[in-house]
Amino acid sequence: MNPSCPRCGAGCSVKYGRYRRADDAQSIQRYRCNQCTKCFSSATFTATYRQKKRRLNRLIEMDIASSTAQRRIAKNHRCDRKTVARKIKFLANEARLRTAKRLNKAEPFDLLQWDELITFEHSRLKPLSVAVMVCKRSREIVAYGVAQIPASGTIARRAREKYGHRPDKSGSMRRQTLRAIAPHIAADAVIETDEHKRYKREIQRVMPTVTHKQHPSIRGSLTGQGELKRTGYDPLFCINHTLGMFRDNIKRLTRRTWCTTKLSSSLDDVIAIYVSFHNSTLI
């Protein structure tokens, strides 16, 4: 049966020739609605409708999850860097849908690890926190969240002088992330974390039946992207290794890089793409 008209909804469309799409040389069927006389095609109903460079979608997705700078992606694929930026938005939305679908299909998780990594937007004086939850059995990333936090340590005063008060939104982000993943976690699950003071209460509030296990914090080693620890046995190896993979595979999270996040929403997009790639391809 021919598809219904996307404009008036009538189901009386007829075939109306074909055209060869310039973008990927595919032959596309066109239709004409007998009620409103408007034309459409089988491409009208796809997520890539009106895109001019469909063939770049998968390539850019792979590059973003393989530590390549956006400008270099543009050079490699001979497109503009604005095209890459637009593709990232599109790919991130696709990736979020894929990740949600995957979660809905998966069995409830029973052994998880939960931790954060610190990065920044625009300047080191404006830090961001990325919370990540990973399944210890499959190494799958099941949840993440991004939020702004105030600068701490020696740069805290300079940050306040330059950019004013920066509220700590990491708590609400963590609660929101926990609430979103809670339906996919088994009632008798175990969540392992480091000795962060606020994790215990946050986890207990959202998931009162879950067992929370804390392990002492250990200093990171430089060769492990600051995430893997200088010790023989690390009880939190799974989450630390995943955060190490974040740092190695997402260009802007690499230590001592000059590629930086300018907007936290863009960091969220890039992480969404990486998470989907990590879960489907890397592990």
Chain contacts with Zn ion (rule: CB under 5 A): 5, 7-8, 10, 33, 35-36
Residue holding tokens 């992606």?
Answer: 73
Q: How far apart are CA 196 and CA 255, in angstroms?
A: 22
Backbone angles phi, psi at 258, to 5 degrees: -105, 5
Distance between CA atoms of residues 19 and 116, nearest Å = 50
Helix, coil or strand: residue 195? coil
Question: What's the closest the beta carbon of residue 177 comes to Zn ion, in angstroms?
Answer: 43
State the DSSP code for 234.
-
Instruction: Please report how close the Cβ of residue 27 comes to Zn ion at its closest, in angstroms.
Output: 23
Residue closer to Zn ion by CB (options 3, 150) is: 3
Q: Which is nearer to Zn ion, 10 or 97 (CB)?
A: 10
Nearer to Zn ion, 35 or 221 (CB): 35
Which tokens sit at 178?
A: 């926990």
Least separation in angstroms between CB 48 and Zn ion = 22
The minimum distance between CB 35 and Zn ion, in angstroms, equals 5
Nearer to Zn ion, 11 or 17 (CB): 11
Distance CA 216, CA 131 (A): 18
Mind giving me the DSSP string for 114-143?
EEEEEEEBSSTTSEEEEEEEEETTT--EEE
What is the C-alpha to C-alpha distance for residues 214 and 205, in angstroms, rounded to an integer?
16
Nearer to Zn ion, 38 or 255 (CB): 38
Pairing status of strand 127-135 against strand 13-20: unpaired
Tell me the closest approach of the beta carbon of residue 82 to Zn ion, in angstroms.
Answer: 34
CB of 49 to Zn ion, least distance (A): 17
Q: Which residues contact 262 (CB under 8 A, 6 or more apart)?
A: 121, 122
Q: Which of residues 39 and 111 has its CB atom nearest to Zn ion in the complex?
A: 39
